Chain A
Amino acid sequence: MTSLTKKVLAAAAGAVVIAGLATAPAAQAAPKSGLKIAVIPKAVNIGYFKGWNDGAQKACKELKAAKCDYIGPTQATGPAQLKFINQAIQQKYNAIVLSAADQNALAPALKKAKAAGICVVTSDADVADTTTRAASVLPASAQRIGEAEVDWIAQEIGGKGKVAILSAAATAANQNAWIDFMKAYLPKKYPNIQLVGVYYGDDDATKSAQQYNQILTEHPDIAGIISPTTVGIRAAAQEKKSKGGTVAITGLGLPSEMKDYVLGGQVTKFGLWNPIDLGYVGTYAAAECASSGNKVPKSFKAGSKTYTQGANGVIFLGDPATFDKSNITKFAAIY
């Protein structure tokens, strides 16, 4: 295959570039084919992870993996994911690509997987104990994501007024990290914006809609809502659509789910990274790891791009893309 030789050449070139930086094996070969890879989302029933899995499947195809099974629980909790990590251990998969639903609860299971010689790469959501996984593929640093969302809302409400955050579960690690940076950034950059509170919709449409109404009941003069979760922003947009109102809504949403609200004028601008890329690069990292002695090389290629690990084995894919009337239709067709 020409693409394979190209990949080998490119990988070799990449290895030359970073040879001086890292102790990565100098003659970096393309990842092995015929690997057994388990792709474990937070929950199989969430639309976002369909895109994530599409990326993983695409990578598996290119990598000629023997197995690329999308397995996971119906409820997005760490304990529910445990069964599937065990399944991967028992069935002697070579690698696991995991979006961790709980940053702590999986640590014992991941230690077990490591002991069994399985490469674990987290993608989309990381675990707290970074020694329990080989690498992590994340969209962007928590600081950049948090601050970007604040910038979006500030832009819409003209830099002043009351703002609330409609988050996922109170214990959602990603969201909490972003919110911490939002809280630090707001008074520094936008002293005239007042954060009135963080509300938790538990990534449940019903609860998120209730929380939206709770925000409006408690603060009728609210200017904007940041919802850093796809379920929350969609519920908020739907509530605004059905009840009217002027509150500005932004945050992280799935273009396919938000198209109607952007075209309908309920939401002007929101953002998200591409879940397909996360799954794709995560799967490449996992395959690299399983091919080179249970370590992800410092730098590796996925498709046409080269990715390099940063501190703690984290690979950032870049800032979230933003969506508005001009591009929503195009992206809604993709994810």
Chain B
Amino acid sequence: MSGGLSRVARLREVPVLSALIVLLLLTAILNPAFRGGEGLKAILIESALIAFLAAGQANLIIMRHIDLSVSSTAGLVSFLIGNTSMNNMGISVPQSLMIAVAVGAAVGIVNGALVAYLKLPSLVVTIGTLYLVRGIFNYLAGGVTVTADALPGWVAAIGSGSILGVPDLFVIALILCVLMTIVQTSTRWGRDLYAIGSNPPAAARVGIPVAHREFAAFVLNGIIAGLAGMLLLFRFSFADATAGLGIELYVVAACVIGGVAIAGGVGTAMGALIGAVLLQAITFALGALGVSQFWQQAVAGALLVLAIAFDRIVALRSTQRINRLAEAPV
């Protein structure tokens, strides 16, 4: 069973990854300036935050849930850390982690409790907390801006550093996505998520503690959103009331493109990471290919729709194949 599961996972990621490679190659062929590696590096930096958030979001979408409040949580954390540093002449790594985990877990617990135990729809709950947290955040922030000189050196160091040419931010996102994928595909906890997403009543009947799993996944996603706030700060060395505004739909889009279907039960964090990179690569490629600024968003949107449609078709095919495989021995 788990072998079949990981096969599905692999199958779903292959087309996205190939699309990404084809796109990058095509761009490099058509625009020499893109070959230097700087373009690829920029794509990785820009996709890191979305990929990081997608790792937690994937758990929820696999269970047919969604969390739109992540952008507000991440923004709030980024501002709180920055503001604390500004008021106290610096902030340490443990202090920052504490803020990130505390705020993220708090939002996650609210979302999780309402969804898992009160059985409220996650879309409604998390639009609610999206507004609520954004409102509190903006109330605290007002017109305050945290600038680079108010931040400790390690923030900028992580934000601009790289390991073997790969930007630190992307390495962080990659590590999280790999770990999450292992959890999803190789642990009891992770496999429960797929079971819940495939058929919630059946999952409950076979003894999976559905509510506890849901609650845990929401809290985990909240904490990841909190930590993403740190990434946001690393990335921009700057925070104000607009931090993180509007990224929630990009996170969902990255998951969907990466094969984590809204219908639940399929996909992995690694897929979502590839989806996030593809999303950024499309934007950069369009620019590098000389598509006008005014056309870029339209073309990117059209490609997004195509990607979703394409993924659906591939998924249907692979389901048919698996069904055939499953039927064979019977």
Q: Which residues of A contact B (CB under 8 A)?
A: 44-47, 49-50, 74, 170, 197-200, 204-206, 209-210, 213-214, 216-220, 234-235, 238, 241-243, 256-257, 259-261
Contacts and interface: CB of A to CB of B under 8 A. Distances in A.
A216 B290 CA distance: 13
Contact of A47 (B46, B144, B149): B144
Contacts of B237: 238, 241-242
30 contacts: A44-B142, A44-B143, A45-B138, A45-B143, A45-B240, A45-B241, A47-B144, A47-B240, A50-B142, A50-B143, A74-B138, A198-B293, A204-B242, A205-B236, A205-B242, A206-B236, A214-B283, A214-B284, A217-B39, A217-B288, A218-B31, A235-B236, A238-B148, A238-B238, A242-B159, A242-B160, A242-B237, A243-B160, A259-B147, A259-B149
A213 B148 contact: no
B5 interface: no
B38 A217 contact: yes
A206 B47 CA distance: 11
Contacts of B141: 45
Nearest to A244: B160
A47 B287 contact: no
Contacts of A209: 235-236
Contacts of A213: 42, 45-46, 284
Contacts of B290: 218
Contacts of B247: 206
Contacts of A210: 46, 283
Contacts, number: 92
Contact of B147 (A197, A198, A199, A256): A256
Interface in B1-51: 31, 33-34, 36, 38-39, 42, 45-46
A260 B145 CA distance: 14
A199 B237 CA distance: 22
B178 interface: no
A328 to B, nearest CB: 11
B33 A217 contact: yes
A171 to B, nearest CB: 11
Contacts of B36: 220
Contacts of A206: 236, 247
A206 B250 CA distance: 13
A264 B251 CA distance: 34
Nearest to A219: B33
A46 B144 CA distance: 8
Nearest to A260: B149
A49 to B, nearest CB: 6
A50 B241 CA distance: 13
A49 B142 CA distance: 11
The 10 closest A-B pairs by CB, nearest first: A242-B160, A45-B241, A260-B149, A213-B42, A47-B145, A50-B143, A217-B39, A214-B287, A260-B148, A257-B147
Interface string B78-93: 0000000000000000
B46 A205 contact: no
A214 B293 CA distance: 11
Contacts of B288: 217-218
Contacts of B142: 44-45, 50
B33 A218 contact: yes
B241 A241 contact: no
Contacts of A217: 33-34, 38-39, 42, 284, 287-288
B156 interface: yes
Contact of B38 (A45, A46, A220): A220
B241 A74 contact: yes
A172 B31 CA distance: 31
A214 B45 CA distance: 12
B148 A241 contact: yes
B313 to A, nearest CB: 31
B287 A46 contact: no
Contacts of B160: 241-243
A257 B238 CA distance: 9
B220 to A, nearest CB: 25
B25 to A, nearest CB: 16
Nearest to B158: A242
